[in-house]
Copies of this chain bind each other. A is one copy, B any other.
Amino acid sequence: MKVEEALQILKEHGFKYTGKREEMIRICAAEKRYLSAKDIMERIKEQYPTLSFDTVYRNISTFVELGILEETELDGEGRFRLACSTDGHHHHHVICTECGKTSSLPGCPMNIISAVPEEFQVTGHKFEVYGTCKECVTHSN
A124 within 8 A of B: yes
Interface size on A, residues (CB 8 A): 34
From B110, B129, B132, contact of A125 by CB (8 A): B129
Q: Which of A116, A124, A127, A128 has the most CB of B within 10 A?
A: A127
Q: Using Cβ atoms and an 8 Å threshold, which residues of chain B touch A115? A: 106
Which residues 44-97 in A have Cβ within 8 Å of B in the complex?
Answer: 73, 76, 94, 96-97
Q: Mark A109-132, 1 if CB is under 8 A from B, else 0.
A: 110111111011111111111111
Q: Using Cβ atoms and an 8 Å threshold, which residues of chain B touch A133? A: 119-121
Is B131's CB under 8 angstroms from A120's CB? yes
A81 to B124 Cα, complex, angstroms: 20
A128 to B128 Cα, complex, angstroms: 9
A1 within 8 A of B: no
Nearest chain B CB to A116 CB, angstrom units? 6
Is B132's CB under 8 angstroms from A121's CB? yes
The interface of chain A, by Cβ under 8 A from chain B, is 73, 76, 94, 96-97, 103, 105-107, 109-110, 112-117, 119-134, 137
